[in-house]
Amino acid sequence: MTTKTTEATATPTLELLWVNRAWKAGKHNAFTDLCYFRQRYYLVFRQASSHHSKDGVLRIMNSVQGKKWRTVAVLQNPVADLRDGKLTVTPDGKLQLLAAAAFHDKTRQAYQSYLWHSTDGKTWPEPQAVGEAEYWVWRLSWLRDQAYAVAYKCGSDRHIRLYQQKASAQFEVIAPRIYAEGYANEAALLFDNQDTAWCLLRKDPDHGQLGHSLPPYTHWQWLDIGCRIGGPQAIFTTDGKMLAVVRLYNETVRTSLVTLDQSSGELTEIMALPSGGDTSYAGMVLQQNKLLISYYSSHQGRCSIYTALLRIQA
């Protein structure tokens, strides 16, 4: 593991303002995401009996300041475990939820990704199947009025591919194999102010990878980040730094904020959040210089959902 602690004078400097346990009811709460919609924060996570149980539902909550939360919806599928919900806001002002269904009966199909839309965050009509069977569409990101999504192949022939969402809301494959070494799976997808696409990729049990591509995003270059990661999510700060939240495995397992050097791929740990054991899968919302993070952890017993507010100082 080649992570290192940043010097106090390095940028960005983060100040942890508070950490709050947002939800602890139930046996296992995990796999969070976060967005800001109509003057409120929205949080989604899976609630279930255990990490790999078949009874997962998606709980959606909202909050004005990110500290006190109330449930506004619970989504479930009677024939599947719902996992890895991801929230975004569409250009036309709808709240969009992407998640994967792991079917109980896998004789015909094991996995399918779905997309829900809501105008108020409370009412969620029936979802639309997106992507292909057995491809886990992990995260969707908007570049102005165009959406892109990364997915990983479940089962044999491991690889990740890139989709573009068309006007019909269907996903079209634009790059069928952007990475195909080892067990490549979860990925954070984001775009810089020059429209370059960046992908922070989990690759178990090996080192994670940082990839980038210019439009039309069909050819990718990759860098080894120097350590193993899990549950990646990343944003760009206002001054263009790539800031991510990942699970780190050296010493003790923890959820940490890290930076990525875009020229070398090197990962640098900045701050470990209160966490341990079964942990990670963060959501991130940056508002001016305030960063709200959601994540889950079992360091206080059963897996609970946490939110943390940080100030980014240039």
Note the pTM of the prediction, 2 decimals: 0.94
Q: According to the model, what pLDDT value does residue 3 have? A: 46
User: What is the pLDDT averaged over residues 298-307?
Assistant: 96
Q: Which of 58, 75, 22 is nearest to 297 (CA)?
A: 22
* Percent above pLDDT 90 for the chain: 91
The whole-chain average pLDDT of the chain stands at 94
In a domain, 137, yes or no: yes
Q: In 10 A of CB 169, how many CB atoms?
A: 13
Label residue 5 by pLDDT band (50, 70, 90).
very low
- Residues in Cβ contact with 27 at an 8 Å cutoff, skipping those fewer than 6 apart: 48, 49, 50, 302, 303
Q: What are 9-37's pLDDT values in tens digits?
A: 355 899 999 999 999 998 999 999 999 99
- Whether 54 maps to a domain, the answer reads yes
**Whether residue 61 has pLDDT greater than 60:** yes
Residue 2 pLDDT grade (very low, low, confident, very high; cuts 50, 70, 90): very low
**What 3-state class would DSSP assign to 27?**
coil
- Residue 5 is assigned to a structural domain of this protein: no
Mean pLDDT of 251-257: 95
92 found inside a domain? yes
Backbone φ/ψ region at 41: left (φ over 0), alpha (ψ -120 to 50), beta:
beta
In a domain, 298, yes or no: yes
Residue 54 pLDDT level (bands cut at 50, 70, 90): very high
Mean pLDDT across 266-286 = 97
Q: Which residue has the tokens 């049990």?
A: 205
Residue 1 lies in a domain: no
Number of compact structural domains in the chain: 1
The reply to whether 8 falls in a domain is no
Confidence at residue 8, expressed as pLDDT on a 0 to 100 scale: 34
Query: 4 in a domain, yes or no?
Result: no
Q: Give the residue carrying structure tokens 């942890």.
A: 16
Q: How far apart are CA 27 and CA 51, in angstroms?
A: 10
Token digits of residue 264: 């070398």
Per the structure, the complete domain to which residue 144 belongs is given by: 13-313
Q: Assign residue 245 the CATH number of its domain.
A: 2.120.10.10
Residue 144 has pLDDT above 60, yes or no: yes
